[in-house]
Amino acid sequence: MDYRLADPELKEMDKNEVSELLNQRIYLRVAMINARDGTPLVHPIWYYFNDEKFYGVSNTGGIKIQSLKKNPDVYFLVDVVDRGVRGKARAKVIDDPSYAKEITARNLTRYLGSLDSPKAKERLEFSKNYSAIEITPVYMASWKV
């Protein structure tokens, strides 16, 4: 993957800083084209980043999955107040409930701390209705103040 500076007026993050940012419990925002009417959509996704890919899930019957299947080209953003990464990527939807459950479990542990809470158990049960999403960046542009 190509790493680059997002804004010439700011500084580029090094790979360790990018990794630190991507390991925070914040949203991945994914911009896509709405499959229904061709307008832009931006959806927040719980994710984890591994082997230069973002992994998330969404409801199999929802507009997010429909849109990514129709047009897998996306733009992503992960940011906090003073730094962030963004870039173009390609999304792959995998309609495999067991794989979606694995990703859901990993993300629930990442964001909620464990799978023991009633909320985590409920979300894990819902995962039978999820599709997995793998987002592979073409490039990742970073900035920091």
11 contacts: CB under 8 Å, gap ≥ 6: 5, 143, 144, 145
- Domain 2-144: state its class: mainly beta
H or E segment at 55? strand 53-59
**Quick one: pLDDT at residue 1?**
84
C-alpha 88/C-alpha 104 separation (Å) is: 24
Please state the pTM of the whole predicted model.
Answer: 0.96
Residue 131: count other Cβ atoms within 10 Å of its Cβ. Answer: 24
Task: Output the tens digit of pLDDT for each of the chain's 145 residues.
Answer: 889 999 999 999 999 999 999 999 999 999 999 999 999 999 999 999 999 999 999 999 999 999 999 999 999 999 999 999 999 999 999 999 999 999 999 999 999 999 999 999 999 999 999 999 999 999 999 999 9
